[in-house]
Amino acid sequence: MNDKALCRSCGSQDLEIFYEVGDVPAHSVLLMPTRDTAVSYPRGDIALAFCSNCGFIANVAFDPCLLEYSQQYEETQGFSPTYGAFARRLAAHLISRYDLHDRDIIEIGCGKGEFLALLCEIGGNRGVGFDPSYVEGRLNGATRHPVTFIKDYYSEKYADYHADFFCCRMTLEHIQNVDEFVGIVRRAIGQRKDTTIFFQVPNVSRILRDLAFWDIYYEHCSYFSVGSLARLFARHAFDVLDVWTDYDDQYLMLEAVPGCATSAEEQRDDILDLARDVITFQRNCPAKISKWKEQLRSIRESHQRAVIWGSGSKAVAFLTTLRVERAIGYVVDINPHRHGTFLAGTGELIVPPSFLKEYRPDVVIIMNAVYRDEIGKALDELDLSPRILTL
């Protein structure tokens, strides 16, 4: 492993590895049809490195050849009422702020297409979505407005697709060469100064401060703070209009337009704060991992029935980092497309909430605190009162 690799955001060699996890599943939300498939799925290593020049954080051990984004990639959070309300609020904000009515919209990494459909339905727009994991028929006529989906990665070959608004949510963190990718988007926009872009990524500052090791997984090879995200887009002649956090500080949002910016020096002070957060994470995360290991061992040794609620990437990172066997009986998820499949890496069966009525768990571990009220209500409706632990 070369800890002097070039930063994929600014090109600097000022990288230093601060967190490593070996032998983790290369995919977290790819549907695993059997337990054998789940536990034997190809694995890779994580070595997070911090760039002291621009603040970008990357997995320098990342190998993109291990990934296989396809229709079996089941990433959607759209079955959650909590997430659905957030998505509608965000869509309404973007439509209002940028007058997205009767406009052409491109979404890069559109997933199953729910958000693009929202933008088109609420604003009366036309949309084109790019994503190899798109599945026909999942929207069930959710929009009356024209939306086209292309089951491919967005790249230079699609530069002739023009739009008034470019949207890219929870995708940039999956891309290794972020500098190259933002350059592709900037060249596709060209001189159309009235085009607006919107990017959403996980907020690495929150991950570091909360010691959230469960938010570090193989598909996410690139991590951004407010400053590092703004600097990346400024280097590609975007004028950054706003950068803010949302969804309990978990998501980082950026709005920008083509301009002449080449730097974002006014935001460089955040690098010192981020460097301190990196050191704090490096020093204190091992203790947090040990604490959770002891918690799971205690559950196992006391023969309590324990389940995890949420079968996404957090659950995979949580269990494969802790490596405590036979502590978790099942993993619960409200997404029906994941039911009957198995969690990558550790192989627990994914079940619907209704399964718990008979199983009657003693402990429920919630993978994301933002869903605490939603999950609590579901447990009440099942007449269950387990002990609840929340990450």
What structural domains does the chain harbor? 297-390 (3.40.50.720)
> In the chain, which residues have pLDDT < 70?
1-4, 140-143, 261-269
Judging by DSSP bridges, how do beta strands 57-59 and 222-223 pair with one another? antiparallel
Cα end-to-end span (Å), the chain: 31
Q: How many CB atoms lie within 10 A of CB 10?
A: 18
Helices and strands, number each (H, E), in the chain: 10, 16
The model's pTM is 0.95
Quote the CA–CA distance of 320 and 294 in Å, as a whole number: 15
Q: Given this model, what pLDDT does residue 179 score?
A: 97
Q: Given this model, what pLDDT does residue 137 score?
A: 85
Q: Given this model, what pLDDT does residue 263 score?
A: 56
∠ Cα 249 254 258 (to 5°):
175
Structure tokens at 287: 């203790």
Q: Given this model, what pLDDT does residue 142 score?
A: 57
Q: Given this model, what pLDDT does residue 145 score?
A: 74
In sequence order, what DSSP letters do the residues of 78-129 get, joined into one string? TT-HHHHHHHHHHHHHHHHHTT-SS-EEEEES-TTSHHHHHHHHHHT-EEEE
Q: Given this model, what pLDDT does residue 138 score?
A: 85
Q: Given this model, what pLDDT does residue 1 score?
A: 41
Length of the chain: 391
